[in-house]
Amino acid sequence: MHAWICDNPVGPEALRWVELPTPVPAAGEVLLAIRAASLNFPDLLTVQNKYQYKPTPPFVPGAEFAGVVEQVGTGVSAFKPGDPVAALAGIGGFATHATVRADKLLPLPSGFAFEHAAAFALTYGTSHHALVDRAALKAGETVLVLGAAGGVGTSAIQVAKAIGARVIAAASSDEKCALCLSIGADATINYGSTNLRETVKTLTEGRGPDVVYDPVGGDLAEPAFRSMAWRGRYLVIGFAAGNVPSLPLNLPLLKGTSIVGVFWGEFVRREPKASAAGLAQLSQWYAQGLIKPVIDLQLPMDRLPEAFARMAARKVMGKVVMTNG
Ligand SMILES: NC(=O)c1ccc[n+]([C@@H]2O[C@H](COP(=O)([O-])OP(=O)(O)OC[C@H]3O[C@@H](n4cnc5c(N)ncnc54)[C@H](OP(=O)(O)O)[C@@H]3O)[C@@H](O)[C@H]2O)c1
């Protein structure tokens, strides 16, 4: 097997593509032949030692992947060789093979493409937990999605549309805004060239969005928060811009707004039944054609550094998926 090894988490440039002995699954584990793995922003933070979860080096990065079961360890009855599965293991995906604990695997329904399965649970799971569970978004309400052309952003547009909400997608370029319109956004704001708060006001006739979905943070957070409607819910998803913003606490008081934290990985660990129910609904929406991962680029696994460079340069639109031939 081959894998990208991180011996020193100082950034993607320190990763090495190496040949390793193919592992034998231990009790409770499964050996997977990986078909596809997608890049998520947390993978970038992990190889930079900036993510909240810090694996001990050496490790193989890649949180989200899909493939075919090759071998099962003792005690595994839920899977057998040949089964197509998706894996959410936190690490291990940027490789040709991985051993994964069976409880980190999801069986793939027939018709679920590996490229989509590798780019599904993390982003759509986050957006479903955020919009359905944490924000209780209702049909007819308006959502403002920041960083809307990124991985979680594109999934948030589709999940909000599946619920029946109106989506204002905000991103940093006209090209990104065009992508958002093409996947269902009702209106867009290019915050690279226009004033976010003023444009939100115009698009909502002064009322403001009911929900803000914010995976970017930085300088966008305060104007987005100030633009919200009465009883709005501000979803704190992440800080892709790099800095964690602060807000004056008189703002939520004045508008009766809630600041709602979203941590999907912890939700999966603490509330497995609720998480499984969310993923089941997402799987149904996928089968109905209501949601579909936006694949920006597919690259062979050994070209992973190009994917990391594209993400760090803020160029990804949707998801980059690495595949094994
Ligand atoms: N809370 C959770 O459970 C959870 C789960 C998954 C991901 N996340 C977080 O969500 C955030 C986005 O993840 P993702 O996988 O969607 O990433 P992504 O595909 O790279 O999208 C991030 C977006 O952020 C914007 N951005 C602004 N400044 C940036 C910068 N300096 N560098 C890179 N992007 C910048 C970009 O949009 P514009 O160019 O349009 O501004 C980009 O499209 C990350 O912080 C990640 O850790 C949180």
pLDDT of 43 strictly over 90: yes
Q: Can you give the pLDDT at residue 294?
A: 98
Q: Can you give the pLDDT at residue 110?
A: 86
- Type of residue at 82: G
pLDDT > 90 in the chain, percent: 98
C-alpha 139 to ligand 1 mean position (Å): 26
SS (H, E, C) the chain: CEEEEECCCCCHHHCEEEECCCCCCCCCEEEEEEEEEECCHHHHHHHCCCCCCCCCCCECCCCEEEEEEEEECCCCCCCCCCCEEEEECCCCCCECEEEEEHHHEEECCCCCCHHHHCCCHHHHHHHHHHHHHHCCCCCCCEEEECCCCCHHHHHHHHHHHHHCCEEEEEECCHHHHHHHHHCCCCEEEECCCCCHHHHHHHHCCCCCCCEEEECCCHHHHHHHHHCCCCCCEEEECCCCCCCCCCCCCHHHHHHCCEEEECCHHHHHHHCHHHHHHHHHHHHHHHHCCCCCCCEEEEEEHHHHHHHHHHHHCCCCCCEEEEECC
The answer to whether 207 touches 137, Cβ cutoff 8 Å, is no
The answer to whether 71 touches 24, Cβ cutoff 8 Å, is yes
Q: Can you give the pLDDT at residue 118?
A: 98
- Convert the pLDDT of each residue in 222-281 to its tens digit: 999 999 999 999 999 999 999 999 999 999 999 999 999 999 999 999 999 999 999 999
Q: Can you give the pLDDT at residue 325?
A: 84
- The reply to whether omega before 209 is within 30° of 0 (cis) is no
* Beta bridge mates, 16: 5
* Residue 157 tokens, joined: 């547009």
Q: Can you give the pLDDT at residue 111?
A: 86
- Does the Cβ of 208 fall within 6 Å of ligand 1? no
Confidence of residue 23 (pLDDT cuts 50, 70, 90): very high
pTM of the full structure: 0.97
- Convert the pLDDT of each residue in 63-96 to its tens digit: 999 999 999 999 999 999 999 999 999 999 999 9
The answer to whether 86 touches 106, Cβ cutoff 8 Å, is yes
Please, what is the average pLDDT of the chain?
Answer: 97
> Position of tokens 């069986």?
107
- Convert the pLDDT of each residue in 270-319 to its tens digit: 999 999 999 999 999 999 999 999 999 999 999 999 999 999 999 999 99
**Ligand 1, atom 30, residue with closest C-alpha:** 241
Work out which ligand 1 atom sits closest to the CA atom of 242: 31
- Type of residue at 204: T
- Does the Cβ of 220 fall within 6 Å of ligand 1? no
* Residue 264 tokens, joined: 């999907």
Q: Which residues does 57 contact at the CB level (< 8 Å), separation at least 6? A: 6, 7, 8, 9
The answer to whether 62 touches 91, Cβ cutoff 8 Å, is yes
Mean pLDDT of 188-199: 97
Report the candidate in 227, 61, 214, 232 with the shortest Cα–Cα distance to residue 152.
Answer: 214
Separation between Cα atoms, residue 302 and residue 94, nearest integer Å: 9
C-alpha 169 to ligand 1 mean position (Å): 14
Separation between Cα atoms, residue 2 and residue 287, nearest integer Å: 33
C-alpha 147 to ligand 1 mean position (Å): 6
Residue to substitute in 44, 127, 129, 152 for testing ligand 1 pocket (most ligand atoms within 8 angstroms of CB): 152
